[in-house]
Structure 1
Amino acid sequence: MSELQVIEICAGAGGQALGLQRAGFTHKLAIELDPTAAETLRQNSGSTVLVGDVASPDVWSPKDHSGIDLLAGGVPCPPFSIAGKQLGSSDERDLFAWAVEQVSVIRPRALMLENVRGLAASRFSAYRQRVLDRLTQLGYVADWRLLHAADFGVPQLRPRFVLVAMKPEDAVYFRWPEPDARRTSVGETLRDLMGANGWPYVDDWVAMADGVGPTLVGGSKKHGGADLGPTRAKRAWEALGVDGKGVADAAPNADAPHPTERLPRLTIEMVARLQGWQDEDEWVFAGRKTSQYRQIGNAFPPPVAEAVGRAIRDALNHEGLPHDIPELSADVHDPVYRELANADGFVSVARLTTALNEMSEASVERRLAILAQDFEVESKVSGSGVSYYRLGSFKGFTGQREHSRNDYIAKYSSKVS
């Protein structure tokens, strides 16, 4: 069995890298914008890590890595996050479409990209459809899946939307990983760490923390320090016996009060454990506490990356029996986008409504308005007052030299998360 190599873009502090290494992949190269996160990855993994804008030809040349086994990455989440404005392709930080376009240059055997749950929303159905159409055009079979970290031994409600694409001869062997039957609680995960300094009430705290925690929020460089997220998240942590207003330097000591009197805070080591890092990984995070917390909170949990990585590895090695490639589920398609993309010219709303017999004219109009956020949508009105539409170009960044994204990153790279 030959060694499988991966190139990882937007690698962060190494959550995905660690998972893929556990799954049997060796990193040929990793690229990360944040110098501190890159240093964390470099000092722990021993991989070659380049620092800078992954889309800049001054940082690396994708064509030099043609035929790599896997191209993987966790491209920026803010363009799709429900916590933000969900600007999609209009957000200068968006690199999802660019990453997909690199498939045409690198021609990897497989592609794996992960992002937040927001990308699975109907707001981005046309964006997702364009991704699938482009990968199909390039000769790949692609599928999306919403995976929950809690189903893979991570005690968090942390959904991640994952895209996997492969060439047909490998895709027939790919199967999404099956979730674990039993979920792990925050308390049992952190019992040893919370009691490390002799806190006499650790068992009482474990009983309080008998559940899965909310998503750890890494946040951005622009906002806040090391705390466990917005008010709603802090309340959820409080219900589990955790003070989410900050991160502690050490676990409670022997003199610390009962958790009903004062809730303990998590340490960096505890946060890393909740994200899926294990003691045996001996992963040391560079930078100060706030930076360390951000690196951990923004990571793809290693156990989830490992599970998907193993599924990709098995497919690339043609393990198991081949199967029919199922048609992609309807919820990843945008019917209005599809009709416009396949049309030769302008299309009336009436024609769209007829073709999409389950949609009213009002629904079609709403979809057109959403489409216009990520695509140029041309319109005209006939002399009789009938509106016609035609799908224009995609607004997003796919590598264009003359794109506002390049100027934005050059100006604000130190502030981009």
Structure 2
Amino acid sequence: MALEVVEICAGAGGQALGLHRAGFVHRLAFELDPNACETLRMNARAGRVTVSDPDLAANGNWVVPGDVADPQNWHPEDFRGIDLLAGGVPCPPFTVAGKQLGATDERDLFAWAVTQVKTVRPRALLLENVRGLSMPRFAGYRQHVLDQLRSFGYAAEWRLLHASDYGVPQLRPRFVLIAMAPEDFAYFHWPEPTGPAPTVGDTLKDLLGKRGWKDVGAWTEKADKIAPTIVGGSKKHGGADLGPSRAKRAWKEMGVDALGLANDDDIPDQDAKYEIGPKLTCEMVARLQGWDDKEFSWEFFGRKTTKYRQIGNAFPPPVAKALGKAIAAALSHEGEPREQDLDTEHDPIYRALQTNGGFMTAAQIARTTKLALEPHELERRISLLGRDFHIEIRNGKAPAAYKLGEFKAFLGQESHARHEQFQQLKSKIS
């Protein structure tokens, strides 16, 4: 019997397609962007992703549009015991290029998604995000997530995966969280790399050469690296291009004009000449994200910029497939069980404050954590925690003391500021 998945923040279907190729069928998918919703529906009708209810697949109602955290859209009790709860929740709260607001960003749904596990009780959880979430800035956030999952009875682990290790010709690190019941998690093994990824030149030479461009061979030799991370999918910015200045320099070295995208029919003809090189089409960028015209065939709804935003925000299908197969194998108890470390520590200061529950001085924190921190370093670490948690500081004649308060993240609270912020910025959230 096929394993079922409910996917939140599904985007344009990179994760959906990968999980489909790993043997999962979708019960429902939730997505905010209406164009991405139509992309999902269109591909399900074409049989590129399987929906457990054929009627829902036919009428498109397997995709639920709008904010997944809106109680009118999301009914977690309906999915209790689902095989997999998966999602690619918004990345701007954690991205290095952004403000890294984390728990105070109106787009942050990571903590909310983890909280749903308590009600949904999925056999497995898969959440992916950007590399920024793996950095010291979010050590306390990560620790809170692991501790919460453990309180729900789950074993969990984070891992930074590189898309290029799974055949995707792109520098695209993704930070992935997997959780299962301990008896199943014992059989979970992170997918092994499949080998070096092809270069940009080898990936795109057939598309750029299909109108007989006589310089395609020389271009292929020049484009002998994998691509920079595909970006540009934000509604806060203008039209589609291939990223910030650093990325544009890398593209230029490979003979690609990154100042915008070409239309689908703007393929070089036989005698085409370029000062830098050709612009890429959406089809070409999708290739660099892991879609192809074979195993990972897919169509995108909308015009050029709309398509590019969907592509630029996607989780590469080959990586999703590798993770899906590893999850399915674990749920079937395939292979040999492994040793588990169910008490991984990302932030010892958070753990000390959380365990103590009261005020702790710097000396008490040092004794508990066995960290030899200079006063300014301790203050810096406390300050980082204070961006995601309420920290109460007691000053006076005695040494300063610190107490860990509530998590600032949106967890579904009716009174949370996220509701008003989200409605104000909804048109710009992607």
- TM bucket normalised to smaller: over 0.9
Q: Aligned equivalents of 2:370 and 2:110: distance in 1?
A: 32
TM-score for both structures, normalised by structure 2: 0.93
- 1:240-319 equivalences under 5 Å are 240-249=254-263, 250-257=266-273, 261-280=275-294, 281-319=296-334
Equivalent-residue separation in structure 2 for 1:99 and 1:81 (angstroms): 18
Deviation at 1:45, TM superposition (A): 2.4
SS in 2 for 1:28: strand
Show the 5 A alignment for 1:5-404: 5-46=4-45, 47=51, 48-249=62-263, 250-257=266-273, 261-280=275-294, 281-326=296-341, 330=345, 333-360=346-373, 361-382=375-396, 384-404=397-417
The SS at the match of 2:6 is: strand
Instruction: Give structure 1 stretches of 5+ with no counterpart.
Output: none
CA contact (8 A) 2:262 2:279 kept: yes
Q: What SS does structure 2 have at the residue aligned with 1:173?
A: coil
Are 1:218 and 1:295, in contact at CA under 8 Å, matched by a contact in 2?
no
Indicate conservation of the 8 Å contact 1:397/1:405, yes or no. yes
Look up the equivalent residue of 1:233 and give its one-letter code: A
Separation in 1 of the partners of 2:267 and 2:354?
57
- Decide whether the 8 Å contact of 2:162 with 2:171 is kept in 1: yes
Give 1:329 deviation, angstroms: 5.3
Task: Name the CA distance, whole Å, in 2 between partners of 1:268 and 1:155.
Answer: 15
CA distance in 1, matches of 2:304, 2:122: 37
**1:408–1:344 CA distance, 2 compared to 1 (3 A):** closer
Instruction: Give the Cα–Cα distance (whole angstroms) in 2 for the partners of residues 50 and 310 of structure 1.
Output: 26
TM-score by length of 1: 0.96
- Distance in 2, Cα, partners of 1:97 & 1:282: 32
**Alignment-derived partner of residue 55 in structure 2:** none
Tell me how large the CA RMSD over aligned residues is: 1.3
238-247 or 406-415, which moves further after superposition? 406-415
Q: By how many angstroms is 1:182 displaced?
A: 2.1
Match of 2:56 in 1: none
Find the aligned partners of 2:232 and 2:37 in 1 and give their Cα distance: 16
2:255 and 2:276 in contact (8 A); partners too: no
Task: Give the % identical residues.
Answer: 59
Distance 1:190 1:407 in 2: 44
Q: Secondary structure at the match of 1:379?
A: strand
Aligned AA for 1:345? G
State the distance in 2 between where 1:279 and 1:162 align: 27
Q: The residue matched to 1:279 in structure 2 has which SS?
A: coil
Secondary structure of the 1:365 match is helix
**Cα deviation, residue 364, structure 1:** 1.6
SS in 2 for 1:27: strand
Q: Report if the CA contact (8 A) 1:143-1:328 is conserved.
A: no
Q: How much has 1:231 moved relative to structure 2?
A: 0.9
- Unpaired stretches in structure 2, ≥5 consecutive residues: 46-50, 52-61
Q: How far apart in 2 are the matches of 1:45 and 1:374?
A: 39
Per-residue Cα deviation, 1:369-404 (whole angstroms, up to 9, x for no partner): 11110001111124x241111111000001101111
**Equivalences, count:** 411
8 Å CA contact 1:75, 1:113 repeated in 2 = yes
Q: Is the 8 A contact 2:233 2:310 kept in 1?
A: no
The one-letter amino acid of 1:253's match is D
